[in-house]
Amino acid sequence: MQIGIAADHGGFELKAQLAAALKGAGYEVEDFGAFELVKGDDYPDFVVPLAQAVAKGIILRGLAICGSGVGACVAANKVAGVRAALIADSFSAHQGVEDDDMNMMCLGGQVTGYAESWELVQIFLSAHFQRDERFQRRLEKVAVLEKINLEWSNPK
């Protein structure tokens, strides 16, 4: 499974730790940056390219990290086809995938430690969308919202 990972300065250290753990566990990891610690960098510069790759299906699952995880989540969800959530507990790590087909997990590099983050990542990556009719129906409604928002933001 190919995993994408991205972080700004607030998640830089956690990103490096998680990328190494993922590679050690046999995952193919594509790093979308930051590639060096720059205190003034901006999370959209790294999270949006990752989110675009997830939306296009180039990357199956994405991990986005900033200081709190909130900004990374906000930026990721601006990309149509991305279903990202800030995760801080094991139930949401699997339920978000099983019920909502979450394809990006966001973490707070300054609020969630490595051990807990690694546990959450493993749960996220091992979960599978359940494809129940009610879950698919809900995702179709979300897709309609994305289409409406695209049409509204790009008037003819």
- 48, 55, 66, 102: the active-site residue: 66
In angstroms, the CA 101 to CA 93 distance is 11
Residue in 89, 100, 76, 93 with CA at minimum distance from that of residue 127: 93
Is 73 part of the annotated catalytic residue set? no
In angstroms, the CA 107 to CA 70 distance is 8
In angstroms, the CA 126 to CA 79 distance is 24
Q: Name the burial class of residue 50, with classes exposed (0-12), middle (13-18) and buried (19+) by CB atoms within 10 angstroms of its CB.
A: buried
Task: Respond yes or no on whether the N-terminal peptide bond of residue 34 is cis (omega within 30° of 0).
Answer: yes
Catalytic (active-site) positions: 66
